């Protein structure tokens, strides 16, 4: 027998960032508890709004299945004495089970015969189990700052006001966070403040809608998206809808009503990014842009009420938005009064990290790294140094103080306003790119160099003071910085070695840090772990990356080219055979000790197959040299594939480990030259093919 189950917890408005995560995690915890209790169920629906989290579980099993329980006692040989009477061991076991000896059974196993007690354990009723499972699931929720209310000791994200718990049409009565469960819920705070009697799990969603609550988070989110898009389309515009903002708006309304509003065109003189940041951050509104991507003097707000006088709601939002945009315009005007370069001195007073000095100290280290990078990236040395000097100045401006997410971008606008070179201005914004895993890389070499120098400096400094990430803790976002370094180095053909960059950054810290011997290797390993994750995220197997890293783990641009070539190589029919041969060669040379081998003596080659292999190795060795110089690894590996036939023939017909030490050494030397060829691009012995 099955029944549907609905649980709803009603409370004060939850923090916007907690609405869906709490509802989702609660459902996950409850389902895990049901699984552990061996209770089957069908479809599951999660609900989340500012004032409630809920879960509906359909076709929930009414009770646990009865289970046969077997309790093992003494071995049969020890259960009876020579006269066939029960031993104290058997009597004690029967007593512990609460039965007579006659109720015990004998079973045969591969380890002998045993006395057992078999009984049937009756399953518990689901309605009796649910209260404890609900309480456990609520207690397991990750609430960062729980609240207390009233005189009790109960804690939750916000004060709790009601709880609904129905199994079928029966109320499961239980005290939950100080509230007795019932079937009474509440609708929209304004449109339907009166109580709602929930009939069942099946009717819950429709009853909520009748009470002006769209309980399903995903449906509510789609409604908001559609309403915003429709309003934008009405003026041939496109709404700027970041996923995070859409989720946040969905988390603060129960009955969404999108409304179009306006602001004065004069505000468009302020950088668009500043206005958008103000709209999104403070007002949770959607900015609009035209077909050319220019910001329009309109915005869309999502109200939580269907007002009888929407014009008043719009006017209220416009009034608040005007104040917000006025603040942004004020910061912009004030900031422009002082050239960006005038903030250089002020950066000395701002701490980057207590043990690593000020922002000015960091800028000076970055400047030194930029000087080092300039020749390799063909940078104008003056531009490189100027970009480093100005790199942290916008952190002291009013606009960035109000909107930290605009760092770099405001530096770009202020640098242009000051008459700095456009290349330098662009680099100030690009220094923070990529800002996240899928973000674009800097377009300019100067921006790439500035981003790279800044991140390498941060990684070296934080590692040197012993603040590397631990577990899930990464307060300095070093994993993100390391991934950015990987992507930046892969993107530039300049021969920038990872180890050398780290060494340079260490040098420029001078006496400020104590350099441990393992610092370079430890940090390099950390960065290359991000490289491994980066390629795995692209669907590449671990063995491919390991194979390439065995031959190139410093120049990441070159590593990437080798990896691309290896991806094509493993698809060739010869790849599997050559990989296996390479493993065999490695084993033989490892046993013999390669360091003791001399070059191949052609006069000592006796067998036809070894002569055949020798000729092919020499031919290919000459052919691959120009391919290595041009880094044409694809053509190179394709050429190596032609070695399959002579290699296979060699191992089929030639004994390497013969008694004649001279012949053996010569054949091993031949295999060593083969190894050099096969493993030049990547260690193909590490490949897992087939």
Domain ranges of the chain: 2-63+125-211, 67-121, 218-336, 356-539, 563-686
What does the alpha-carbon distance between residue 651 and residue 629 come to, in Å, rounded to a whole number?
31
Crossing angle of helices 608-629 and 644-653, rounded to 10°: 150
**Sign of the alpha-carbon torsion through 395, 397, 403, 409:** negative
Output the pLDDT for position 127: 92
Mind listing the pLDDT tens digit for each residue in 248-291? 999 999 999 999 999 999 999 999 999 999 999 989 999 999 99
What does the alpha-carbon distance between residue 11 and residue 160 come to, in Å, rounded to a whole number?
4
Residue bearing tokens 């809608």: 209
Output the pLDDT for position 690: 66
CB 272 within 8 A of CB 297: no
Thinking of the domain 356-539, which architecture would CATH place it in? Orthogonal Bundle (1.10)
**pLDDT, mean over the chain:** 93
The pLDDT confidence band at residue 312, using thresholds 50, 70 and 90, is very high
CATH homologous superfamily of 563-686 equals: Isoleucyl-tRNA Synthetase; Domain 1 (1.10.730.10)
**252 three-class SS:** helix
Output the pLDDT for position 117: 85
Q: How many CA atoms within 13 Å lie on the side-chain side of 242?
A: 11
- Bridge partner residues of 108 (DSSP): 113
CB 444 within 8 A of CB 493: no
Residue bearing tokens 């055949």: 612
Residue bearing tokens 């309980």: 215
The pLDDT confidence band at residue 97, using thresholds 50, 70 and 90, is confident
Residue 135 tokens read as 């309480």
Give percent of the chain above pLDDT 90.
Answer: 73
Residue bearing tokens 């290919």: 620
CB 583 within 8 A of CB 647: no
The pLDDT confidence band at residue 596, using thresholds 50, 70 and 90, is low
Mind listing the pLDDT tens digit for each residue in 597-654? 778 888 888 888 889 988 898 999 899 899 999 999 999 999 989 988 998 888 888 8
Output the pLDDT for position 1: 75
C-alpha distances (whole Å) from 582 to each of 127, 461, 514, 586, 656 are 64, 42, 44, 6, 15
Choice among 116-120, 305-309, 467-471, 494-498 with the minimum mean pLDDT = 116-120
User: Closest Cα partner for 615 from 630, 602, 631, 628?
Assistant: 602
C-alpha distances (whole Å) from 102 to each of 83, 90, 522 are 17, 11, 69
Mind listing the pLDDT tens digit for each residue in 434-469? 998 889 999 999 999 999 999 999 999 999 999 999
**Sign of the alpha-carbon torsion through 10, 146, 141, 467:** positive
What does the alpha-carbon distance between residue 422 and residue 416 come to, in Å, rounded to a whole number?
6
Mind listing the pLDDT tens digit for each residue in 160-208? 999 999 999 999 999 999 999 999 999 999 999 999 999 999 999 999 9
* DSSP collapsed to 3 states, 461-475: HHHHCCCCCECCECC
Output the pLDDT for position 505: 96
Q: How many CA atoms within 13 Å lie on the side-chain side of 54?
A: 33
Output the pLDDT for position 525: 95
Residue bearing tokens 């709601």: 313
Output the pLDDT for position 35: 94
Whether the predicted model's global pTM rises above the 0.85 cut: no
Q: How many CA atoms within 13 Å lie on the side-chain side of 379?
A: 29
What does the alpha-carbon distance between residue 31 and residue 41 come to, in Å, rounded to a whole number?
9
What one-character DSSP code corresponds to residue 441? Answer: P
Residue 277 tokens read as 């940041």
**Sign of the alpha-carbon torsion through 494, 495, 497, 503:** negative
Q: Looking at domain 2-63+125-211, does it have CATH number 2.70.98? A: no
Mind listing the pLDDT tens digit for each residue in 27-78? 999 999 999 998 999 999 999 999 999 999 999 999 888 777 778 888 888 8
Higher confidence at residue 230 or residue 124?
A: 230
Higher confidence at residue 481 or residue 584?
A: 481
What does the alpha-carbon distance between residue 485 and residue 444 come to, in Å, rounded to a whole number?
16
Mind listing the pLDDT tens digit for each residue in 392-431? 999 999 999 999 999 999 999 999 999 999 999 999 999 9
Q: How many CA atoms within 13 Å lie on the side-chain side of 293?
A: 1
């Amino acid at each position: 027998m099955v029944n549907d189950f609905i649980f709803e917890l009603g409370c004060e408005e939850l923090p916007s960032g907690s609405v869906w995560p709490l509802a989702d995690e609660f459902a996950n915890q409850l389902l895990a508890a049901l699984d552990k209790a061996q209770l089957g169920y069908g479809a599951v629906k999660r609900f989340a709004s500012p004032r409630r989290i809920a879960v509906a579980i359909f076709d929930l099993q009414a009770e646990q299945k009865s289970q046969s329980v077997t309790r093992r006692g003494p071995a049969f040989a020890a259960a009876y004495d020579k006269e066939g009477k029960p031993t104290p061991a058997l009597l004690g076991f029967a007593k512990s089970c609460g039965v007579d000896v006659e109720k015990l059974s004998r079973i045969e196993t591969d380890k002998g015969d045993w006395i057992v007690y078999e009984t049937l354990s009756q399953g518990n009723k689901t309605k009796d189990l649910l209260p404890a499972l609900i309480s456990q699931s609520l207690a397991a929720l990750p609430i960062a700052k729980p609240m207390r209310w009233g005189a009790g000791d109960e804690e939750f994200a916000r004060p709790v006001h009601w709880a609904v718990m129905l199994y079928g049409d029966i109320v499961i009565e239980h005290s939950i966070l100080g509230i007795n469960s019932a079937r009474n819920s509440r609708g929209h705070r304004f449109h339907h403040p009166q109580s709602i009697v929930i009939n069942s799990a099946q009717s819950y969603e429709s009853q909520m809608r009748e009470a002006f609550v769209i309980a399903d988070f995903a449906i509510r989110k789609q409604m908001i998206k559609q309403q915003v898009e429709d309003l934008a389309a009405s003026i041939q515009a496109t709404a700027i809808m970041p996923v995070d903002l859409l989720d946040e708006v969905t988390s603060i309304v129960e009955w969404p009503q999108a409304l179009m509003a306006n602001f004065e065109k004069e505000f468009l003189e302020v950088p668009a990014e500043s206005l958008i940041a103000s709209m999104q951050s403070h007002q949770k509104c959607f900015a609009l842009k035209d077909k050319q991507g220019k910001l329009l003097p309109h915005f869309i707000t999502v109200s939580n009420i269907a007002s009888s006088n929407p014009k008043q709601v719009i006017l209220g939002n416009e009034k608040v938005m005007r104040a917000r945009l006025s603040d942004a315009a004020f910061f912009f005007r004030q900031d422009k009064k002082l050239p960006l370069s005038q903030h250089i001195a002020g950066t000395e007073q701002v701490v980057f990290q207590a043990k690593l000095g000020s922002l000015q100290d960091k800028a000076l280290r970055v400047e030194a790294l930029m000087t080092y990078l300039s020749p390799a990236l063909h940078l104008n040395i003056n531009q490189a140094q100027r970009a480093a000097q100005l790199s942290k100045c916008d952190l002291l401006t009013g606009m960035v103080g109000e909107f930290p997410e605009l760092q770099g971008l405001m530096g770009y606008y202020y640098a242009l306003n000051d008459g700095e070179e456009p290349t330098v201005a662009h680099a100030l914004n690009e220094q923070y790119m990529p800002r996240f895993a899928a973000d674009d890389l800097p377009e300019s070499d100067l921006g790439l160099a500035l981003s790279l120098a800044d991140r390498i400096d941060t990684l070296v400094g934080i590692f040197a003071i012993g603040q590397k990430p631990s577990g899930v803790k990464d307060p300095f976002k070093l994993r993100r910085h390391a991934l950015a370094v990987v992507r930046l180095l892969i993107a530039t053909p300049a021969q920038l070695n990872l180890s050398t960059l780290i060494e340079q950054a260490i040098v420029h810290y001078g006496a400020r840090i104590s350099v441990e011997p393992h610092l370079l290797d430890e940090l390099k390993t950390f960065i290359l772990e991000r490289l491994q994750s980066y390629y795995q995220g692209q669907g590449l197997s671990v063995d491919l990356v390991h194979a390439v890293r065995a031959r190139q783990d410093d120049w990441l641009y070159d590593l990437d080219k080798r990896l691309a070539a290896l991806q094509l190589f493993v698809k060739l029919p010869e790849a599997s055979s050559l990989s296996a041969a390479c493993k065999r060669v490695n084993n033989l040379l490892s046993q013999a000790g390669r360091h003791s081998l001399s070059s191949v003596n052609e006069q000592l080659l006796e067998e036809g197959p070894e002569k055949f292999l020798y000729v092919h190795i020499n031919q290919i060795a000459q052919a691959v040299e120009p391919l290595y110089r041009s880094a044409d690894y694809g053509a190179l590996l394709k050429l190596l594939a032609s070695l399959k036939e002579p290699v296979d023939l060699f191992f089929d017909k030639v004994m390497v480990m013969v008694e004649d030490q001279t012949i053996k050494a010569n054949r091993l030397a031949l295999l060593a030259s083969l190894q050099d060829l096969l493993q030049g691009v990547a260690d193909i012995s590490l490949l897992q093919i087939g």
